[in-house]
Chain A
Amino acid sequence: MTILEMCQWLQDTSIGTQIRESVWTFPILEGTHLLMIAISVGTLLTMDLRLAGLLFKRQKVSEVTKAVMPISLFGFTVMFITGVFLFLSQAVKAYGSIYFKLKLFFLLLAGINALVFELTMRRTIHSWDADPVPPFRARLAGISGMILWAGVIAAGRTMAYNF
C-alpha cells in the first residue's frame, strides 16, 4: 500500500467522510484547532522568550517553564487531536499539498529542537536557571523554537489556499 493509497483509505473511512460532509463538524474542528494553536504556541512563546533572554529576566527559567508547560501541553494535545481529524477528512488533498509537507517538516524540526534541549541543556539548568540571559545554546533553542512554530502556522494557513 502506497502512502497515497493509505490517504485515500483514511479519507474513505466513515469518520473521514462524516467530517468532510458535515456542516458544523469541520468548521468547529478547525476553529478549535486554530484556538489551540494560539493557546499552545502563544504560551510556549513566553517560555521561548525567557530562554532567549528577552522577557521575564528576573524569573527563573524553570519557574516560567513550570507555569507555562501544562497549558502549552494541554493546547498541543487538543490541537494534535483536532489536527488528526482534519487530516483524516482531506487526507488525499493534504498528501498532495507541498505546504502540508512543509508544515510537517517544521513540526518535526520543532520537535527535534525541543528534544535536543531536553536532553542537553535541561540537565545543566541548575547552573544557569537564574541567569537573566541564558547560555548561547539555550537562547538558540528559544529563538529556533519561535521561528519553527511560526513556520508551522504560516505553512498550515497557506495550505488551505491550495485546497
Chain B
Amino acid sequence: MERTHDLGGLPAGKIDQTEHELTFFDKRVDALYALLTSPKKAAFTMDEVRRTVESFSQADYFGLSYYERWLKAMSLLLIEKGYVEASALDIPQASS
C-alpha cells in the first residue's frame, strides 16, 4: 500500500486561511493526545502516532479530518500496546 510521508516540497495549491474554532470532539481528542503522549502517561510517543497516521491509506490520510486521523491512530496504538481490547473499539475503515 502506498504511504504518505513527508509532504515538504510537493506541488500543492493555495492555502485556505479560513479560521476554525475547535469543536468539543476536537478538544477532547486534542486532550487525549496531550495526556497519552505526556511523560507522565507515556502510553505511546508522538512519533508513534505519526507512524500510524502515515500507515493510513491515502483515502484516510487526506479524507479524514485532522482530529479524526489522530483518534483513529491513537485507537490503533491503544490496541497495539495492549491497553484496550480490540473488541472494545469500532474503528471506522477508510471507506466509511
Pair from one complex: no
Identify the B interface with A (CB < 8 A): none
Identify the A interface with B (CB < 8 A): none
